[in-house]
Amino acid sequence: MALSSVSNVEKVLGVDLSSNDETSVTNIFIPAADAAIENYVGYSLNYEASISETIDGNADDSIYLKRIPIVSVTSIVEDGVTLTEGNSEDYVVYKQLGLIKRTGLQQWSTQRLQNIVITYVAGYSDSEATAEDIPEDLKYISARIAGRLFISSASLATQQSTGEVSTNIADNTTDSKFQMVKSESLGDYKAEYESVLDQMHQEVLNPADKQILSKYKKQYFTSASILD
């Protein structure tokens, strides 16, 4: 499931897209935006109902999974023994951290290869009842990136067909379909664009995008810092 939608992109751009443009945004630009976001944060954000990880024992009390947020843990099997979730049982789950922590004084078994199998559900979804809804800031960033990519593509198509660079997007003087802000800022980050081609040469994720997405990058903590 995509992080954003055509309607989100239209809101960011302030336009109504044609049916052909909607298809391009849905099939090309939103997936490209989501791929850039997931590459930056380091994991897939989309809901998945069954994920299995086979992990080495680490002789510690904590194991971090690859995907967050955890929706639920289906099973954990360690050295052939199925463990039980609960404060007074074998382990507890810190969903936002992607952390599975042994309870009491228990630890994961001493370092052995591939001896722990964890099956779980993770990710965001607006349609799955058990999953967390896609956060609004992720929807916004996905739509904003997709909008920039769409406009860059439209400008290139105009240049290739006419031999001239269209300035409609940046100048806001003619076709309102391609209107776009000429500057943006967030905190210490500020950028101004003389034309849409300036935006084409920027990274897919600009510093403002990265600042918003930074909270979704996985953070690892010592076990002592988790419980306080």
The residue extents of the domains of the chain are 6-44+134-216, 48-128
Ramachandran angles phi, psi of 103, nearest 5°? -90, 160
DSSP 8-state class, residue 79: T
CA torsion angle 142 158 178 206 (round to 10)? 40
What's the chain's average pLDDT?
80
Instruction: For residue range 38-52, list pLDDT tens digits in order.
Output: 999 999 999 999 999
- Whether the per-residue pLDDT at 101 is higher than 70: the answer is yes
Specify the higher pLDDT residue, 174 or 141: 141
pTM, entire model:
0.73
Count the neighbouring beta carbons within 10 Å of the beta carbon of residue 210: 17
Q: What angle do CA 171, 181, 19 make, to 5 degrees?
A: 90
User: Residue 218: what pLDDT?
Assistant: 74
Determine the pLDDT at residue 202. 52
* Cis omega (within 30 of 0) for bond into 69: yes
State which amino acid sits at residue 192: E
Amino acid at 122: A
Strand pairing report for 62-64 and 48-55: unpaired
